[in-house]
Chains A and B, each alone.
Chain A
Amino acid sequence: MGTTARPDPFVLDEVELSSRLIMGTGGLSSLHTLERALRASETELTTVALRRYTPRQGDSLFSVLERNRIRVLPNTAGCYTARDAVLTAELGREALETDWVKLEVIADEDTLLPDVSELLEATEQLVARGFKVFAYTSDDPAVARRLEDLGATAVMPLGAPIGTGLGILNPHNIELITSRARVPVVLDAGIGTASEAAWAMELGCDAVLLASAVTRAQDPVAMATAMRHAVAAGRLAAGAGRIPARRHAVASSPTTGLIATDASETVARGDWAPTGASR
């Protein structure tokens, strides 16, 4: 349940989610802790990777997600070419019975930054094959627009490189993307702590996708709870019409009826002239 008074569903491909936090499942060695963190986050959509099947004892990720009725968004992590990404997406669709895919086509291992040309190529092919493409992309507004034009279901710009926890390195670009987008924008990757998730929402993002910030935190369950609140808070703030930032203080207490003091000289007041204007 969200903390908003009014229902404010997040609609993706005609599916209504009440949570605007998408939590990835990577980065925790304990499935039990992952399950507790997922529950604390109240996420309704989570990403998974696709890898060779290896027999394991006891609980599986698949059964954890089934049990908690969390919708699955398979990713194409580890793919460097459109060709590999398309095959991985096809496997995900077959294994998980969803045509949603988080499309990730990576340029190199050190930065894990998206390879934009392969990404655009893969988006075009997957859309043609009936996939709902959630495109993990750079924070470039021009690329975001191209992805939209190619039929992406959601555009997911990075705040910072995957797993860095550097937050939102180019808030101007993120705001530009959200202000022009006609599809949902999900801030994906880079979030380190709750304030950054709230900020993403204030910049106009429709949702936040994060994994490491929770799964690699010292207390993943506490951080998952923090992220849930942060995303809800940021969403509310984004719609609440914040006050303009000013350079001078504005008293919130009455400025009339003040008692007499010695400091009765008139002090010049007023906001500063805009930057660049003559004083």
Chain B
Amino acid sequence: MPTITLNGAPRVVSGDTTIIDLVSQTAARPLASDGRPLDGGGLGMAVAVDAAVVPRSRWSRTPVLEGQTIEIITAVQGG
């Protein structure tokens, strides 16, 4: 059971968790294996693992590992 830091907070995930599981849980939306939302519309989210972007196309193939720092970001209001 890897412990990670997700958006600044510690989190324990199950051993077979991939990035796409983490994003899907965070957004509370089901995602296709290419990262597209199954409920239609855009997702507007991106992921960085240890300060490197993981492209959406690789989310389903990228395991979440012990000790990683993961940021899940989205667009917010800003100038």
Contacts and interface: CB of A to CB of B under 8 A. Distances in A.
A77 B78 CA distance: 8
Given A53-B7, A53-B27, A87-B51, A62 B77 contact: no
Interface in A120-136: none
Q: Which residue, of A34, A51, A55, A74, has the highest number of chain B Cβ atoms within 10 A?
A: A51
Nearest to B43: A95
Interface string A82-107: 00000100111111110000000000
A87 B76 contact: no
A4 interface: no
Contacts of A49: 75-79
Contacts of A90: 46, 48, 53
B75 A62 contact: yes
A145 to B, nearest CB: 25
A55 B55 CA distance: 22
A26 B77 CA distance: 5
Contact of A91 (B8, B43, B48): B48
A120 B17 CA distance: 40
B65 to A, nearest CB: 20
Contacts of A26: 77-79
A113 B26 CA distance: 35
A95 B45 contact: yes
A77 to B, nearest CB: 5
A25 interface: yes
A178 interface: no
B72 A52 contact: yes
Closest 8 CB pairs of A and B: A49-B78, A24-B79, A95-B46, A94-B46, A211-B79, A62-B44, A48-B75, A91-B46
Given A52-B71, A94-B53, 17 more contacts: A24-B78, A25-B77, A27-B79, A48-B78, A49-B76, A50-B74, A50-B76, A51-B74, A53-B74, A65-B75, A87-B48, A91-B46, A94-B47, A95-B43, A95-B45, A95-B46, A96-B75
Interface of A: 24-28, 34, 47-53, 55, 60-63, 65-66, 72, 74-75, 77, 87, 90-97, 162-163, 189, 211-212
Interface of B: 7-8, 26-28, 41-48, 51-53, 55-56, 71-79
27 contacts: A24-B78, A34-B77, A47-B79, A49-B75, A49-B76, A49-B78, A50-B76, A51-B73, A52-B74, A53-B7, A53-B73, A55-B28, A61-B76, A62-B42, A65-B75, A74-B75, A75-B78, A87-B51, A87-B53, A91-B73, A94-B46, A94-B47, A94-B55, A94-B56, A95-B45, A95-B74, A163-B79
